[in-house]
Amino acid sequence: MVKLPNCTSEISEERLQSIYTSVESKPTLEIAKLFKVLGDPTRVKIAQALHLESELCVCDVAAITETSVASASHHLRTLKKHGLTKVRKDGKNVYYSLDDHHVHSLITIATLHQQELEESQ
C-alpha cells in the first residue's frame, strides 16, 4: 500500500499503512454480509420487534410484519443463519429472540442514528 502521489492529506504514509493493515485484518466480508441481511426492511422490522419483545413466535412475527407465516419463517431463518437470532423450542412452538446484546446494540444505534438524521432535516 502506497499513498497516492496527488494526495495532499496530512496523514503520514506510516499511519496510512497502519490503518490499512488494521482494516485488512478485520472480517470485512462477513460484516458486509451482516449489513446486507439487515438491508431488508422486513428483517429490520423483525429485529426491531425482537428488540422490543424478548422473544416471539413465527405467527406473532407474521402479524407484526403483515406477512404470511411462510414469509416470516423465511426471514427468521435467514436472520438465524447469519447469527442475528436464536431459537428456543417449547413443544410445538418455536420462539425467536435476538442472539445477544451486540445485535440489540446494532438495532438501537441504527434506530437512534436514523432518528437524529430525520430531526436534523
Mean pLDDT, rounded, for 66-71: 97
- Confirm or reject CATH 3.40.50.300 for domain 13-120, answering yes or no: no
pLDDT tens digit string along 2-26? 888 888 899 988 999 999 999 999 9
95-102: long-range contacts, CB 8 A cutoff, minimum separation 24: 95/55, 95/56, 95/57, 96/50, 96/55, 96/56, 96/57, 96/58, 96/61, 97/50, 97/54, 97/55, 97/56, 98/47, 98/50, 98/51
- Retrieve residue 37's grid coordinates: 441481511
Its pTM stands at 0.87
pLDDT tens digit string along 35-67? 999 999 999 999 999 999 999 999 999 999 999
Spell out the domain ranges in the chain: 13-120
